[in-house]
Amino acid sequence: FGKAFMLFQLLSHAAIWGFWAVWVRGLPVDGRAEKALVGFAVLFLFYPLHLSLQLGQSEPFILLALAVALRSLRGDRPLVAGLCLAAAIWLKLFLALLLLHLLLRRQYRALGSCAAWLAVLFAAGCCVVPWDVQAAYWKRLGQPLGLEAFYDNQSVGGFAYRAFALTPYSAWLDLPGLARGLKGALSLALLAGYARAAWRARGADHDARLLALCLVTGLLVSPHSDTHHQALLLPAFLALPIDAAFLAFYAFFAEYLPIVAYKFISPSRLGWIIQGPLCAALSLPFLALAGLWLYLIRGLESDSSTKSR
């Protein structure tokens, strides 16, 4: 097992540097060296990525697949793009939102390719994994996890249940019905906002930002969005002119503070005294993620308004 994990770690690191290399090749020649250096630093500093590598998660391979897919879409290679996106969805199911992304962007050949490759991957899985195991997995897929309020869940559901349900991570209100309703309403609003932006945006110059918005939306509406899942924000941080102060805030403070809050002021110790601040501290990555979603939406809406004049 130790040798297998070491091999997996080597492949994961290779995937990350492959992602960086593909991203650098897609940069304009003017200023490429400076941007490549910034991207190199981001890979070293971004805590969710290091956590993903430490835990042996699949995010490095998903990042590589997304980078190749975006480059293939720009180069009019729908077969390769569909394969890469299908692999990403197969590794993380909440990325099925990428299918809607292709539909809204009217990239129908890539959508058909992705659907076909997903069918191939599903058939291959059925041949390898016993059917009773497959059936048990799909049966449990739509059921509540019981970990919605877990401090590491930075989705809409995690925020709603920490704020309005009686859980081990917050104990000041007990309104689970309100939490469920808020989760559903916010999820629909996020999906509608993303769909509107993707439908209105025209031209290939929006591809990187819309893919980033798709990933951010998927992380927000996913039933469970752990810290290591936030590594999928790297395409947004690398492709967009986001303020360096925000990146530093997100990479360090926003991701570390929930861990500190849970360890030292959890409800079993001092948290019952300051439930409001505790809930806010545990949800800080969610609030930063929601801020990033608004930033992307505002930029796309501004561009659409400018072009329509």
Q: Given the structure tokens 């990428």, which residue do they identify? A: 98
Confidence at residue 28, expressed as pLDDT on a 0 to 100 scale: 66
Q: How confident is the model at residue 168 (pLDDT cuts 50, 70, 90)?
A: low
In this prediction, residue 185 carries a pLDDT of: 96
pLDDT of residue 202: 65
CA atoms of 138 and 85, how far apart (whole Å): 21
Q: What distance in Å separates the CA atoms of residue 72 and residue 80, rounded to the nearest whole number?
A: 6
pLDDT of residue 275: 58
Residue 227: DSSP 8-state: G
- Which residue's structure tokens are 């859980």? 167
Q: Using CA atoms, how far apart are residues 9 and 2, in angstroms rounded to an integer?
A: 10
d(Cα 163, Cα 308) in Å, to the nearest integer? 41
Model confidence at 35, in pLDDT bands (50, 70, 90)?
A: confident
**What pairs with residue 170 in β-bridges?**
167
Domain residues for the domain of 124 are 2-308
- Tell me the C-alpha distance between 7 and 218, whole Å: 30
- What is the DSSP secondary structure assignment for residue 95, as one 8-state letter? G
CA atoms within 13 A of residue 6's CA, in its CB half-sphere: 3
| Residue whose entry in the numeric block shows the structure tokens 């002021």 | 265
pTM here? 0.85
Task: Count the domains in the chain.
Answer: 1
